Amino acid sequence: MTSPHLIWLLSGVVMILLVASIIGALLRLRLGDAPNPMIDNLIARTNAWWVMVILLAIAFLAGRTGVILLFALCSFAALREFLTLTTHSREDHWSLVACFFLVLPFQYYLVLTDWYGLYSVFIPVYVFLLLPVLSALRGNPKDFLVRVSETQWAMMICVFCVSHVPAILSLQIPGFEGRNVILIAYLIFIVQLSDVMQYVWGKLIGRTRIAPTLSPSKTWEGFIGGSLTATAVGTLLWWMTPFTMLQAMGMCLLLTLMGFFGGLVMSAIKRDRGVKDWGHLIAGHGGFIDRLDSVIFAAPIFFHITRYGWSVT
């Protein structure tokens, strides 16, 4: 957990945040008390990133259990945000209790004990089949399909997909023993860098919107520019991964693509529910899902490709 490569990567992130903090402070000083939503949002986002990076660094230093606990708490918060926007009735009480206090902790226990054969199918098979039974036994057919489907989707997104991030620690990659935490940092860094650079490129040269009704801020120019920027950076960092330079390039392209898809799908759900953000817990970022949306789609793909392509199990 204290690999020099991890320290270098975290140091690079800290340097980026320092530059962003200095720029934000200088811009605020130059404008004085004049309101500027863009600069205020930049400062709020930077401050929130400081907190998130510090928490992530503490979890990395705490070891495997610390990382798993951190993402279990993220899943809990994300699941709470998701389910507040879903359709449910009093008859779903026990199924929701099971989601939070049985399924979620058991899924992360399986990850902790490295029981791949079960945690890879526990939610999409057993939970998907048994959760509707709990609601059906209460005998209320009104909106039954909608209620069950939304709860299943919440479990898939907020628990199953997110749990694949700490599951990376269990991969047994020859010649890369004891450094799997770098892959977690690498995954999060590339996906989040792509998000940020898509926003930056979109503001600079964005003209052609991809899905105006779902996410007006997403443009083809921003998507291409952000993806290529993150891919270039990830390719240059190939030496801290088990991938060759060409493999790192392909992996980063896939991560940026899946991250974009995750953000787009989550935006579609928010528009369907008539909300701008999933929550307001993280200043400048919205809720936990607003920060996890890109990682949600990228993590399982990254885990399984790495497992079958580089791991001995």
- Between the alpha carbon of residue 100 and those of residues 92, 192, 195, 236, the distances in Å are 13, 27, 29, 40
Axis crossing angle, helix 245-273 with helix 288-309, rounded to the nearest 10: 140
DSSP structure class, residue 142: T
**Pairwise CA distance, residues 154 & 8, whole Å:** 35
- Bridge partners of 282, per DSSP, are 286
Task: Please provide the size of the chain in residues.
Answer: 313
DSSP structure class, residue 3: -
Q: Does pLDDT of 108 surpass 90? A: yes
Cβ proximity of 181 and 1 under 8 Å: yes
Residue 55: its pLDDT value, please?
Answer: 83
**Pairwise CA distance, residues 238 & 176, whole Å:** 13
DSSP structure class, residue 34: -
Closest CA to 76 of 159, 10, 8, 150: 159
Q: Does pLDDT of 104 surpass 80? A: yes
Q: What are the pLDDT digits (tens) for 173-208?
A: 998 988 898 999 899 989 988 988 898 898 889 889
Residue 279: its pLDDT value, please?
Answer: 67
Residue 149 burial (CB count, 10 A)? 15
Residues 215-254 as b/e (b if ≥16 CB within 10 A, e otherwise) read: beebbebbbebbbbbbbebbbebbebbbbeeebbbebbbb
| pLDDT mean across residues, the chain | 88
The alpha carbon of residue 81 and the mean position of all alpha carbons in its chain are separated, in whole angstroms, by 14
Specify the pTM.
0.88
Q: What are the extents of the domains in the chain?
A: 1-62, 74-170, 178-313
